[in-house]
Structure 1
Amino acid sequence: MSAHGKLVGAATLKRLRLARGWSLSGCARAIIDKAAELGQPLDVSVASVQRTVARWESSKGPILPGDRYQLLLAHLYARTADGQTSLGAGSDFAELLDALAHLGEGEQRLGELRMLLVKTATDGGGGLLALLGPSTQLALSTVLADPSRLDEGLLDAMRLAVGDVNGQVGSVPFVRVQLLLAPIVESCRRLLDAAVPEPLLPGLQAVAAQAYTLAGRAAFETRDDEASRALYAEATAAAGGIGSPWRRAVVHMSHALVTLYSTPGIEAAQRLVDAAVRDARAGESVTVRARAHALQAEFAARAGKERHAQAALALAWYDMDSDRDGDPAPTSFSPAHLRGFEGVTSLYVGDPAEAHDYFAQSAEALKAPRERVQRAIVSTDQALARIRLDAPESAAELLHGCIDAASVTGGRVASIRLRRARGDLRPWRREDWFADLDDHLIDSLGA
């Protein structure tokens, strides 16, 4: 971190403090009070904390606040002067994170602070409005009253907010994802039914398609299949009006996986996969096309069509290895995800040992918080491969970690796959390790 960057961080901390009307000692008292409120009292004097605050703001050699103080500052600045939670762009909390970054804090730690405060916001009954800065909240209220005032700035803020919620998947339960999304889903519905400026309609439809798709997934994960189907229908309609077929392909793929686990048979889900492949091939995102071909391979393998599955996998790898410069969705699918699809294909129509290795490679690479749900699914499939390799106890050991991950997020797909794996282990139901696994499942997932 450059010396200039550190000075910018120090100046930002000072500006935040002064904007709250705090002297150095006043800021120290606020920190001490917040620590006590959180049940983490600081065993130090006001004078000691005051000196620490001064070192953060020094114009000569500012220092980065330690982890504990970062947490306390995050809780302080996450609330506005009137006590409302505000975490979005332009908020004091966002400025705090920017200051900490200038002072040398890494992205992972800043992400952890943000996730923690999002959890706190939803614990307190807050929703997506907490992820919108004060000016954006005002702008959204104004536009809902007069849709003709919609502008690019508000669309960008809404897009970022939905992306922010999407980033919480794997870190917060899906019921909280629903809570966060509800205001923007309703806002999109109202605006799409209103007379917004015509040039901005595709942008609004893109935001709506993303919000509805994520909300449909969350509704499915919380076992509200009727709401899920309705949201996916809205997402498909919104994406269809944008003029970018890859966006509708993304909706179809998410809908296909949900349908696979909520509708008997695979025919309905297969139709969605076929539609996704058609749209992906007509679209400009090579990454989305790779994902569509990977999903096509999984469904072919589930149907026992080995040649079709291998052909689709080859197309997926061809797409993944292609030049993706300028791809509108470059991070939506990765080689680690594709390894998981290779594993599923091998599990159904190939060698379980090969499947196990593919799953292991995929799980090892899926480390981001956003990928926690997918990693639990991949690891559960890896356990299935171990069962087929006649290593049931080793499979059970792996499943314990999958249960913990599924219980954190409330993921329905992971839970379904876990129960199937448990069923495959029934021949060993008299073993002590099977009883331990059963107890863990019941304690964590209720079944």
Structure 2
Amino acid sequence: MSAHDRGVGAAILKRLRLARGWSLADLARAIIAKAAELGQPLDASVASVQRSVARWETSKAPILPGERYQLLLAHLYARGADGQSSLGAGSDFAELLDAFAHLGESERRLDELRTLLVRTLTDSGGGLLALLGSSTQRALSSALGDPSRLDESLLDTVRLAVHDVNSQVGSVPFVRVQLLLAPIVESCRRLLDASVPEPLRPGLQAVAAQAYTLAGRAAFETRDDAAARALYAEATAAAGNAGQPWQRAVVHMSHALVTLYSTPGLDAAQQLVDAAVRDARAGESVTVRARAHALQAEIAARRGAEPNADAAERRRAERHARAALALAWYDLDSDRDGDPASSSFSPAHLRGFEGVTSLYVGDPHTAHDYFADSAAALAAPRERVQRAIVATDQALARIRLDEPESAAELLHGCIDAASETGGRVAAIRLRRARGDLRPWRREDWFGDLDDHLIESLGA
């Protein structure tokens, strides 16, 4: 960090304190009180903490607060001066994280702080509007009362709030994702039914499609299939009205994966994947097109592995799957400058689909290597759910390679991830892996795995 950056960070910290009407000693006392409230009392006097505050805010070589002080400051500023929880854009909490960034804190640590505060607020029953700053909450309430007041700035903020909720997937359980999304989903519904400025309606439709899609995924993960179907129907309609085919393709793909695990057979999921491919080919996102082709490959491979598939059908399914994978790689290797969804799908994700194809209609050795590479690359917190799914598939490949105990060792970590996130797909795959391990049910390690499954997932 440059001296200028550090100076900006110090100035933000000072501004936040003064906006609360706090002196240096007042903030020191607030920090000590918050530490005691959290059950982590500070062994320091007010004067000592006050000197630390002064070092953070000085215009001459300010320092970054230590991790413990960062946490205490985060808890203090997660509530606005009015006492309401607020973590969104424009909130004191968001300003605090910006100050830490200017003072040299890493993105990873900032993400950890944000996730921790989201967990805390939803634990305490708050957080319904936590990802919308207090000014945004007022603006949204005003727009709901008078839809003509909706403007591009408010739309951008709501879009960012949906993105922030999405970034929590894998870090917090899906029930918390639902809690955070609920007011956004309801606000989108009310605004879409109102007379908002016509030029803003396509943008509102796009934001609504994103919120409904994520809410549909969360409803599925928490085993509310009826709500999931209704939300996906709303998302499909909103994305269609937004006028961007790639956005509707994203909805279809999410819906297809949900359908794959909640509806018997492959036909319903196949129809959604085919619709996603059509929309993706008509849209401007090459990345979305790659993901659609990858899903097409998975469906084809699964068809080849159906119990009633003969050798010819299996070979045909493998050809179709390999062709779709080749198209997906072609798309990912294309120029994606300006792609509106460039971060939504990566080579690590695609290697997972290659592994699925090899698992169903190819060689388990090859499948295992693809899964291992994919799991190693899916390192971000947002990718934790996908990493657990890929690692479970890797364990399935080990079972087919006659390495059952090694598979069980891998599955223990997958159980922990599925339990902590509430991931339904990972749980379904885990139960399938357990079924494949039944020939070894008399082994001690199988009993340990079974106990872990029952304790963590209830099955």
SS at match of 1:90: coil
1:192 and 2:192 correspond = yes
4+ aligned runs moved over 2 Å, structure 1 = none
Q: Deviations over 1:335-393 (max 9, x none)?
A: 00000000000000001000000000000000101000000000000000000000000
Give 5+ residue unaligned stretches, structure 1: none
Q: Deviations over 1:89-133 (max 9, x none)?
A: 111111111111111111110111111111111112223411111
Pick from 344, 347, 359 the counterpart of residue 332 of structure 1: 344
Q: Aligned equivalents of 1:365 and 1:430: distance in 2?
A: 35
Contact 1:127 1:181 in 2 (8 A): no
- Which one-letter code corresponds to 2:111 in the other structure? G
Contact 1:127 1:182 in 2 (8 A): no
Shift of 1:164: 0.4
> Could you tell me which residue of structure 2 aligns to residue 42 of structure 1?
42
- Which one-letter code corresponds to 2:262 in the other structure? S
Q: Aligned equivalents of 1:230 and 1:127: distance in 2?
A: 24
- Which one-letter code corresponds to 1:216 in the other structure? G
1:183 and 2:195 correspond = no
1:261 and 2:261 correspond = yes
Q: Aligned equivalents of 2:128 and 2:401: distance in 1?
A: 46
Q: Deviations over 1:126-154 (max 9, x none)?
A: 23411111111001000101111111011
1:381 and 2:393 correspond = yes
Superposition TM-score, scaled by structure 2 size: 0.97
Contact 1:56 1:62 in 2 (8 A): yes
SS at match of 1:233: helix
- Which one-letter code corresponds to 1:324 in the other structure? R
Alignment of 1:358-369 (within 5 A): 358-369=370-381
SS at match of 1:172: coil
Q: Deviations over 1:295-339 (max 9, x none)?
A: 000000001110000000000000000000010110010000000
SS at match of 1:129: coil
> Could you tell me which residue of structure 1 aligns to residue 451 of structure 2?
439
> Could you tell me which residue of structure 2 aligns to residue 63 of structure 1?
63
Of the structure 1 ranges 121-130 and 110-119, higher mean CA displacement relative to structure 2 is found in 121-130
> Could you tell me which residue of structure 1 aligns to residue 30 of structure 2?
30
SS at match of 2:342: coil
- Which one-letter code corresponds to 2:74 in the other structure? A
> Could you tell me which residue of structure 1 aligns to residue 234 of structure 2?
234
Of the structure 1 ranges 117-126 and 213-222, higher mean CA displacement relative to structure 2 is found in 117-126
1:285 and 2:285 correspond = yes
Alignment of 1:52-201 (within 5 A): 52-201=52-201
Q: Aligned equivalents of 1:260 and 1:372: distance in 2?
A: 20
Q: Aligned equivalents of 2:446 and 2:50: distance in 1?
A: 56
Alignment of 1:299-338 (within 5 A): 299-304=299-304, 305-338=317-350
Q: Aligned equivalents of 1:343 and 1:154: distance in 2?
A: 42
Q: Aligned equivalents of 2:232 and 2:152: distance in 1?
A: 25
- Which one-letter code corresponds to 1:230 in the other structure? A
Q: Aligned equivalents of 2:13 and 2:154: distance in 1?
A: 27
Q: Aligned equivalents of 1:378 and 1:441: distance in 2?
A: 18
Contact 1:126 1:180 in 2 (8 A): no
Q: Deviations over 1:368-423 (max 9, x none)?
A: 01000000000000000000000000000000000000001000000000000000
Superposed CA RMSD in Å reads 0.7
